[in-house]
Amino acid sequence: MVLKTRYAPVSVQPRLLIKPFRTVAPTSDMRLPRLLLCAMLVVAANAFAVQCKPAVEPERQDITPDLSYAKRTAVHPSDGRQVSAHLAFFTSRAFRLEVVDLGDGPEPAYPTLADAFRAAGCVAGVNGGFFHPDWRPSGLVIAAGRRINRLETAKLLSGLVYSDSRGIHLIRRARFQDQPGTGALLQSGPYLVEEGRAVRGLSASDPNRRTFVATDWRGHWVLGATQSPLTLSELAQCLASPGALTPWRVDRALNLDGGSSTGFFFERREGRPAVVLQPWKRVRNLLGIVPR
């Protein structure tokens, strides 16, 4: 049965629960944070856009297609300062690394840098890794297949460069897998360039002579030593700037012991004297290259 009612039906109109959008004009308080953010982004963009440029035509001597020497000079556009470096370019298909250990006694095993490299059969090289006041090396070192010290986790020693039957490698410490068959290895740091970009957070103080190893990760490598003092941050910027110190794009680079330890050797041919930059003090080990 249908019940009848005395009340007439009421038509109910739906109510909108969402208020219409109203445009609000930005106030001065709202504009200020936006302006500050834009200014910070512009400054950051300009800082990362600064790149070193080659200053003069490099002095270059090609020994073979796989080995060459160059002295290159780059200029930092922000202040016009020049950075000069001795560079030994080589390929991993033709050369392997050799770590020359100079011993832990008060006197090095060889009187000069050139004597040590020549005795090991190296055609080029630089000084090696860091060491303690008692000449004990910092981090893992493998010289002539012999292990000296152990892998260390100090923040500075963030990378390793080593040579085995597969070629030459430069990797982060966290990715290193210790395996037999490694004939030469140095643990050092910090990392300067990674995936073609300068590593952030590097020291922008304490300019000094620097030593480094770098690669395009396509078989081209360079051992270098600067004659000019510069900070780690400036060195990373120069190496990450295409054409500044290397003719190819640097994919990754690792810092070696520098300052008074900085040394460089390149054996030139045709009766020309070797290029030698002698360290100002005794060092523990050297990093050189020998033909495969």
Supply the range of the domain harboring residue 139: 53-291
Residues in the chain with pLDDT values less than 70:
1-50, 56-58
- pLDDT reported for residue 36: 52
- pLDDT reported for residue 55: 74
Q: Is there a domain that residue 201 lies in?
A: yes
Q: Is there a domain that residue 34 lies in?
A: no
Q: Is there a domain that residue 225 lies in?
A: yes
Q: Is there a domain that residue 21 lies in?
A: no
Q: Give the number of domains in the chain.
A: 1
- pLDDT reported for residue 13: 46
- pLDDT reported for residue 7: 36
Q: Is there a domain that residue 30 lies in?
A: no
Q: Is there a domain that residue 46 lies in?
A: no
Q: Is there a domain that residue 48 lies in?
A: no
pTM of the predicted structure, to 2 decimals: 0.82
Q: Is there a domain that residue 224 lies in?
A: yes
**β-strand partners of 68:** 62, 89
- pLDDT reported for residue 26: 52
Tell me whether the omega of the peptide bond preceding residue 190 falls within 30 degrees of 0, making it cis: yes
Name every residue whose Cβ is closer than 8 Å to that of residue 225 and which is 6 or more positions away in sequence: 85, 86, 126, 127, 209, 210, 211, 212, 262, 263, 264, 277
- pLDDT reported for residue 66: 97
Of 162, 170, 122, 127, nearest in space to 141 by CA? 162
- pLDDT reported for residue 81: 86
**How many C-beta neighbours within 10 Å does residue 161 have?**
26
